[in-house]
Amino acid sequence: MTDLFAFGLGIATRNARGETLEVYYPAPLAKPEGAVRDLIEKHVPERSATLPAEFAAKLAELLPPGGAASAAHRTLAEAGAKLDAVALRTDDAIASTAEAYLKLHLLSHRLALPNSMNLEGIFAKLPNVVWTSVGPIDVAEFTARQIEARGAGTPIVVHGVDKFPRMTDYVIPSGVRIADGSRVRLGAYLGEGTTVMHEGFINFNAGAIGPNMIEGRISQGVVVQPHSDLGGSSSTMGTLSGGGNITITIGRNCLIGANAGTGIPLGDRCTIEAGLYVTAGTRVDVLDENGTLVRTVKARELAGQSDMLFLRNSTTSRVECRTNRAAIELNTQLHAHN
Amino acid sequence: MTDLFAFGLGIATRNARGETLEVYYPAPLAKPEGAVRDLIEKHVPERSATLPAEFAAKLAELLPPGGAASAAHRTLAEAGAKLDAVALRTDDAIASTAEAYLKLHLLSHRLALPNSMNLEGIFAKLPNVVWTSVGPIDVAEFTARQIEARGAGTPIVVHGVDKFPRMTDYVIPSGVRIADGSRVRLGAYLGEGTTVMHEGFINFNAGAIGPNMIEGRISQGVVVQPHSDLGGSSSTMGTLSGGGNITITIGRNCLIGANAGTGIPLGDRCTIEAGLYVTAGTRVDVLDENGTLVRTVKARELAGQSDMLFLRNSTTSRVECRTNRAAIELNTQLHAHN
Amino acid sequence: MTDLFAFGLGIATRNARGETLEVYYPAPLAKPEGAVRDLIEKHVPERSATLPAEFAAKLAELLPPGGAASAAHRTLAEAGAKLDAVALRTDDAIASTAEAYLKLHLLSHRLALPNSMNLEGIFAKLPNVVWTSVGPIDVAEFTARQIEARGAGTPIVVHGVDKFPRMTDYVIPSGVRIADGSRVRLGAYLGEGTTVMHEGFINFNAGAIGPNMIEGRISQGVVVQPHSDLGGSSSTMGTLSGGGNITITIGRNCLIGANAGTGIPLGDRCTIEAGLYVTAGTRVDVLDENGTLVRTVKARELAGQSDMLFLRNSTTSRVECRTNRAAIELNTQLHAHN
From residue A286, how far is each of A148, B142, B197, B286 by CA, in Å?
64, 51, 41, 28
Contacts of C124 by beta carbon, 8 Å cutoff, 6+ apart: none
Q: Is the peptide bond before A45 cis (omega within 30 degrees of 0)?
A: no
Is C236 within 8 Å of C219 (Cβ atoms)? yes
Whole-angstrom distance, CA of residue C10 vs CA of residue C212: 31
C-alpha C279: how far from chain center: 24
Mean pLDDT of C254-267: 97
CB-CB under 8 Å, C26 with A143: yes
Is C307 within 8 Å of C321 (Cβ atoms)? no
Is C315 within 8 Å of C323 (Cβ atoms)? no
CB-CB under 8 Å, B75 with C235: no
Q: Using CB atoms, pick whichever of A163, A219, A317 lies closest to residue C317.
A: A317
Of C213, C160, C158, nearest in space to C182 by CA: C160
Confirm or reject contact between A79 and chain B (CB < 8 A): yes
Reply yes or no on whether B33 is catalytic. Answer: no
Interhelix angle for B53-62 vs B68-78, to 10°?
160
CB-CB under 8 Å, B180 with C159: yes
Confirm or reject contact between A268 and chain B (CB < 8 A): no
Q: Using CB atoms, pick whichever of B142, B161, B317 lies closest to residue A317.
A: B317
CB-CB under 8 Å, B147 with A76: yes
pLDDT score recorded for residue A329: 45
User: In DSSP terms, which residues pair with B138 in a beta bridge?
Assistant: B129
CB-CB under 8 Å, B259 with C241: no
Any chains having at least 3 CB pairs less than 8 A from chain C are A, B
Q: Which of residues 83-102 of B touch C (CB under 8 A)?
A: none
Span C200-214, pLDDT tens digits: 999 999 999 999 999
Mean pLDDT of C180-193: 98
Confirm or reject contact between C232 and chain A (CB < 8 A): yes
Is B27 within 8 Å of B170 (Cβ atoms)? no
CB-CB under 8 Å, A159 with B283: no
Whole-angstrom distance, CA of residue B211 vs CA of residue B228: 8
Percentage, residues of chain C above pLDDT 70: 93
A255 SS3 class: strand
Whole-angstrom distance, CA of residue A63 vs CA of residue A40: 12
pLDDT at C120 over 70: yes
CB-CB under 8 Å, B168 with C155: no
Q: What residues of chain B lie within 8 A of the CB of C279, using their CB?
A: 273-275
pLDDT score recorded for residue A332: 41
Q: Using CB atoms, pick whichever of C156, C201, C241 lies closest to residue B334.
A: C241
The DSSP call for residue A155 is P
Percentage, residues of chain B above pLDDT 70: 93
Q: What residues of chain B lie within 8 A of the CB of C120, using their CB?
A: none
Contacts of C224 by beta carbon, 8 Å cutoff, 6+ apart: C207, C208, C209, C212, C214, C218, C230, C236, C249, C250, C254
Which helix (DSSP H) or strand (DSSP E) does residue B23 occupy? strand B20-24
Span C156-177, pLDDT tens digits: 999 999 999 999 999 999 999 9
- The phi, psi pair for A277, rounded to 5°, reads -105, 115
Q: How many CB atoms lie within 10 A of CB C71?
A: 18
Q: How many CB atoms lie within 10 A of CB A77?
A: 22
Q: What is the chain A residue with the closest CA to C314? A: A283
pLDDT at B334 over 70: no
Q: How confident is the model at residue B93 (pLDDT cuts 50, 70, 90)?
A: very high
Is C126 within 8 Å of C139 (Cβ atoms)? no
Q: What residues of chain B lie within 8 A of the CB of C261, using their CB?
A: 258-259, 274-275
Whole-angstrom distance, CA of residue B229 vs CA of residue B242: 22
pLDDT score recorded for residue A237: 86
Q: Using CB atoms, pick whichever of B79, B258, B333 lies closest to residue C150.
A: B79
Strands A6-14 and A29-30: antiparallel
pLDDT at A243 over 80: no
Strands C223-224 and C249-250: parallel
Whole-angstrom distance, CA of residue C338 vs CA of residue C335: 8
Q: What is the chain B residue with the closest CA to A79? A: B151
Q: Where are the alpha helices (DSSP H) in chain C?
A: 34-43, 53-62, 68-78, 97-108, 122-125, 142-151, 332-336
Our CA-based measurement puts residue C1 at a distance from the nearest CA of chain A, in whole angstroms, of 32
pLDDT score recorded for residue C1: 55
Q: What residues of chain A lie within 8 A of the CB of B283, using their CB?
A: 314-315
Mean pLDDT of B157-168: 98
Cα-atom radius of gyration of chain B, to the nearest Å?
Answer: 23
Amino acid at C120: E
To 10 degrees, the CA torsion angle through C216, C218, C222, C223? 70
Q: What residues of chain B lie within 8 A of the CB of A235, using their CB?
A: none
Which helix (DSSP H) or strand (DSSP E) does residue C308 occupy? strand C308-312
Confirm or reject contact between A136 and chain B (CB < 8 A): yes
Mean pLDDT of C3-22: 97
Percentage, residues of chain A above pLDDT 90: 88
CB-CB under 8 Å, C217 with B24: no
Of A193, A337, A275, nearest in space to B220 by CA: A337
Confirm or reject contact between C233 and chain A (CB < 8 A): yes
Q: How many CB atoms lie within 10 A of CB B45?
A: 9
C327 or A77, which is more confident?
Answer: A77
Q: What is the chain C residue with the closest CA to B330? A: C242
pLDDT score recorded for residue B65: 95
pLDDT at A197 over 90: yes
B128 SS3 class: coil
Confirm or reject contact between C334 and chain A (CB < 8 A): yes
pLDDT score recorded for residue B237: 86
pLDDT score recorded for residue B246: 72
Is B17 within 8 Å of C134 (Cβ atoms)? no
Q: Using CB atoms, pick whichever of A178, A276, A331 lies closest to residue B240.
A: A331
CB-CB under 8 Å, C283 with B274: no
Span A229-242, pLDDT tens digits: 999 999 998 654 44
CB-CB under 8 Å, C314 with A319: yes
pLDDT score recorded for residue A325: 66
Is B193 within 8 Å of B211 (Cβ atoms)? yes
Strands B83-88 and B48-51: antiparallel
Is B71 within 8 Å of B63 (Cβ atoms)? no
Q: How confident is the model at residue C3 (pLDDT cuts 50, 70, 90)?
A: confident
Is B87 within 8 Å of B2 (Cβ atoms)? no
Instruction: Look over chain B and give the mean of its residue pLDDT values, rounded to a whole number.
Output: 93
Q: How many CB atoms lie within 10 A of CB B54?
A: 11
pLDDT score recorded for residue C247: 80
pLDDT score recorded for residue B142: 98
Interhelix angle for A142-151 vs C68-78, to 10°?
30
Q: What residues of chain B lie within 8 A of the CB of A176, using their CB?
A: 161
Span A307-329, pLDDT tens digits: 999 999 989 999 999 988 654 44
pTM for the model stands at 0.95
Contacts of B326 by beta carbon, 8 Å cutoff, 6+ apart: none
pLDDT score recorded for residue C325: 66
pLDDT score recorded for residue B111: 98
Contacts of A181 by beta carbon, 8 Å cutoff, 6+ apart: A166, A167, A168, A169, B131, B157, B158, B159, B160, B161
CB-CB under 8 Å, B177 with C182: no
Q: What is the chain B residue with the closest CA to C318? A: B317
Whole-angstrom distance, CA of residue B303 vs CA of residue B263: 9
From residue A322, how far is each of A33, A279, A306, C326 by CA, in Å?
51, 17, 11, 33
pLDDT score recorded for residue B247: 79
Amino acid at A279: T
Any chains having at least 3 CB pairs less than 8 A from chain A are B, C
pLDDT score recorded for residue A331: 40
CB-CB under 8 Å, B242 with A255: yes
C160 SS3 class: strand
Backbone region of residue B194 per phi and psi (left: phi > 0; alpha: psi in -120 to 50; beta: other values): beta
Q: Using CB atoms, pick whichever of C72, C76, C177 lies closest to residue A162.
A: C177
Evaluated on CA atoms A101, C213, C245, C103, the torsion sign reads negative
Q: Of residues A22, A199, A215, A273, which has the active-site annotation?
A: A215
Q: What residues of chain C lie within 8 A of the CB of B108, using their CB?
A: none
Confirm or reject contact between A176 and chain B (CB < 8 A): yes
Mean pLDDT of A170-197: 98
Confirm or reject contact between A192 and chain B (CB < 8 A): no
- Quote ipTM for the complex: 0.94
Mutation target to probe the C interface, by most C beta carbons within 10 A, among B172, B185, B318, B329 is B172
Instruction: Look over chain A and give the mean of its residue pLDDT values, rounded to a whole number.
Output: 93
Q: Using CB atoms, pick whichever of C144, C182, C237 lies closest to residue B198.
A: C182
pLDDT score recorded for residue A147: 98
Mutation target to probe the B interface, by most B beta carbons within 10 A, among A132, A172, A311, A317 is A172
Q: Using CB atoms, pick whichever of B26, B198, B258 lies closest to residue C183.
A: B198
Confirm or reject contact between C134 and chain B (CB < 8 A): no
Our CA-based measurement puts residue A137 at a distance from the nearest CA of chain C, in whole angstroms, of 12
Q: Using CB atoms, pick whichever of B68, B79, B136 lies closest to residue C148.
A: B79
Q: How confident is the model at residue A81 (pLDDT cuts 50, 70, 90)?
A: confident
CB-CB under 8 Å, B198 with C240: no
Confirm or reject contact between A70 and chain C (CB < 8 A): no
Confirm or reject contact between C259 and chain B (CB < 8 A): yes
Confirm or reject contact between A204 and chain C (CB < 8 A): no
Whole-angstrom distance, CA of residue A202 vs CA of residue A199: 10
Which helix (DSSP H) or strand (DSSP E) does residue A75 occupy? helix A68-78
Whole-angstrom distance, CA of residue C7 vs CA of residue C1: 16
Q: Annotate C272-285 with b (16+ C-beta within 10 A) or e (fewer).
A: bbbbbbbbbebebb
Span C265-317, pLDDT tens digits: 999 999 999 999 999 999 999 999 888 999 999 999 999 999 999 999 989 99
pLDDT at A144 over 60: yes
Is A196 within 8 Å of A177 (Cβ atoms)? yes
